[in-house]
Chain A
């Protein structure tokens, strides 16, 4: 046994080690830095809470390959919550794999009294409009009570859950998960019934002669296919508004970067 594992190690050991080293190099080269992730500018959190959230952000970031930023502001400077969140993300060039890369930011904007979630890079795909609303649902179990720490914790928990979780077809369109199953089962039952019915119906023998069997000759004397009229109907094809496999809907921030996201007032 040992002999075998030795052989394995000698055969695959060095490439494996190389790959590991390469991976680590790439990780550092692409710049995920465990820098500050919690920016409590409105001073809503205690120092202990901040430290706790900082550690959690880094843990989730490393586990799910997504930069996670928490931000609170008490002065929006006349901007909307969305602009505040996007600008902050862009100015700090957050991103897991590269600056302005994959990341998600949650803002509690005390000025606009709004919570906003801004997504970038791959996070846009995983955080569909529907999922954002569900994350906000979790956040708003705490936020209206002034439990900012709890709302951030809820946010982090949901980010960890949804990031990397493939978007199911039909998810977020209001159809429950078992609709597809029901359709498939329906088709299966229908085809099964048709086959069974056909077997019973054909058991007594079927007509084997058709319309040409007794025809020995045919002559076409006159034949015409005359065009009468034409009717044209138009239908506007509804645009794909996201929410499906394509991920959440996006917009371009003032910094020129594409962000997804959504928010809710409190």
Chain B
């Protein structure tokens, strides 16, 4: 079974508008708040087929097994597959898109123009080849951690008596035991998405998370998670361990050198929330190569490797090196 957000006014399909934060009908422009469409989730959806028939044009709609919201490839009708959004795949919350497709493109061009090493041709005329809004499955982790840290630190005191310089190095054994709460740490649960790229999209403002409702997905792509909790926990542990240790280090101040001898971090409580977060995926061609970008659908932050202009990099190098050299010469003349 598939779900279509039918317009109560004219019967054609409605899409979620990030600008208005409500459903808007493509043909008659009538609007409807998302909360008024609380229908689909209550029903029992158990259909796990991947092939459906489009309710609008009747053509066959073949989906990938993780797709939970898509478009008919023939008539473009926004289509939701409720079986992949209920039961164990029911997200608890969703962060609706705040940036529309138009805004995303504009923001992307602006970002291209700001690029200090982006090729001139791209700055002048960047053309997006493909742009799609995707609700990416994430797990938000709430972790209560306890850490025990042992470190060795040194303090150095240099003083002079007559013609002799004394260097006094004091060694310290530093111990910290602390508890910390980490909340709403995101980890993308889609194997298809690049982890590093998704991490760089952060921060997402978790305060704007809404209780999940299917109409938010109408007009966007969405996926269900395909990475399990244990795989994700490893990534999350890596991140939180790093954060906690870094924090512990920051409490050991006043040392000339610091070496963490042992850090033992225990995860007392871990709670996860399955949520959908908005990401714009953009791609464009430059000199026959495809470049793929991701944009935070809430904040507009762009992540992705743009083409690099060698000439511009060289210019920066030469400019900075020249300026530094000139400055050093100037200082030399002044302090001679």
Chain A contact residues, CB within 8 Å of chain B: 169, 180, 184-185, 187-189, 191-193, 195-196, 199-200, 203-237, 239
- A191 lies within 8 A of B321 (CB): yes
Interface-located stretch among B39-47, B171-179, B207-215, B226-234: B171-179
Q: Does B242 have its Cβ within 8 Å of any Cβ on chain A? A: yes
Bound form: Cα–Cα A213–B116 in Å: 28
| Cβ-defined partner of A232 (8 Å) among B166, B247, B306 | B166
- A233 lies within 8 A of B167 (CB): yes
- A214 lies within 8 A of B301 (CB): no
Contacts of B118 in A (CB 8 A): 203
Interchain residue pairs with CB less than 8 A apart (21): A188-B328, A191-B320, A192-B318, A193-B317, A196-B314, A199-B313, A200-B117, A203-B306, A204-B303, A204-B305, A207-B199, A210-B243, A214-B183, A222-B177, A223-B176, A225-B174, A227-B170, A228-B173, A234-B167, A237-B164, A239-B163
Q: How far is the CB of A40 from chain B (nearest CB, A)?
A: 42
- A217 lies within 8 A of B172 (CB): no
Q: Does B165 have its Cβ within 8 Å of any Cβ on chain A? A: yes
| Cβ-defined partner of B170 (8 Å) among A203, A215, A230 | A230
Supposing A230-B168, A230-B170 touch, asked if A207 and B200 sit within 8 A by C-beta, the answer is yes
Bound form: Cα–Cα A91–B321 in Å: 58
- B117 lies within 8 A of A203 (CB): yes
| Cβ-defined partner of A220 (8 Å) among B169, B178, B304, B318 | B178
Contacts of A210 in B (CB 8 A): 243
Q: Does B94 have its Cβ within 8 Å of any Cβ on chain A? A: no
- B170 lies within 8 A of A219 (CB): no
| Cβ-defined partner of A208 (8 Å) among B185, B202, B336 | B202
Q: How many residues of B are in contact with the other chain, CB < 8 A?
A: 65
- CB closest residue in chain A, given B161: A234
Contacts of A195 in B (CB 8 A): 316-317, 320
Contacts of B176 in A (CB 8 A): 220, 222-223
- B320 lies within 8 A of A192 (CB): yes
- B202 lies within 8 A of A209 (CB): yes
| Cβ-defined partner of B200 (8 Å) among A206, A215, A229, A233 | A206
Bound form: Cα–Cα A232–B168 in Å: 4
Q: How far is the CB of A188 from chain B (nearest CB, A)?
A: 4
- B317 lies within 8 A of A192 (CB): yes
Those of B182-207 within 8 Å (CB) of chain A? 182-185, 197, 199-200, 202-203
- A219 lies within 8 A of B304 (CB): no
Q: Does B334 have its Cβ within 8 Å of any Cβ on chain A? A: no
- B172 lies within 8 A of A200 (CB): no
Q: How far is the CB of A207 from chain B (nearest CB, A)?
A: 6
Bound form: Cα–Cα A227–B133 in Å: 57
Those of B236-274 within 8 Å (CB) of chain A? 240, 242-244, 246-247, 250-252
Contacts of A199 in B (CB 8 A): 116-117, 313, 316
Interface SS of chain A: mixed
Contacts of B160 in A (CB 8 A): 237
Bound form: Cα–Cα A225–B254 in Å: 11
Bound form: Cα–Cα A207–B332 in Å: 39
Going nearest first, the 7 A-B pairs with the smallest beta carbon separation are: A192-B321, A205-B303, A188-B325, A211-B243, A222-B177, A196-B317, A188-B324
Mark each residue of chain B from 124 to 146: 1 if its CB lies under 8 Å from any CB of chain A, else 0.
Answer: 00000000000000000000000
Supposing A204-B306, A208-B203 touch, asked if A189 and B170 sit within 8 A by C-beta, the answer is no
Q: How far is the CB of A191 from chain B (nearest CB, A)?
A: 5
- A231 lies within 8 A of B169 (CB): yes
| Cβ-defined partner of A187 (8 Å) among B175, B252, B328 | B328
Q: How far is the CB of A195 from chain B (nearest CB, A)?
A: 5
Contacts of A226 in B (CB 8 A): 172-175
Q: How far is the CB of A27 from chain B (nearest CB, A)?
A: 29
| Cβ-defined partner of B182 (8 Å) among A189, A214, A219 | A214
Contacts of A189 in B (CB 8 A): 321
- CB closest residue in chain A, given B181: A217
Contacts of A227 in B (CB 8 A): 170-172
- B180 lies within 8 A of A217 (CB): yes
Contacts of B181 in A (CB 8 A): 215-218
- B332 lies within 8 A of A180 (CB): yes
Bound form: Cα–Cα A208–B244 in Å: 17
Bound form: Cα–Cα A230–B155 in Å: 9
- B171 lies within 8 A of A228 (CB): yes
- B243 lies within 8 A of A221 (CB): no
- A234 lies within 8 A of B301 (CB): no
Contacts of A232 in B (CB 8 A): 166-169
Contacts of B328 in A (CB 8 A): 184, 187-188
Those of B280-334 within 8 Å (CB) of chain A? 301-306, 308, 313-314, 316-322, 324-325, 328-329, 332
Bound form: Cα–Cα A200–B180 in Å: 36
Most buried by B among A193, A206, A232: A232
- CB closest residue in chain A, given B328: A184
| Cβ-defined partner of B165 (8 Å) among A216, A229, A237 | A237
Contacts of A217 in B (CB 8 A): 180-181
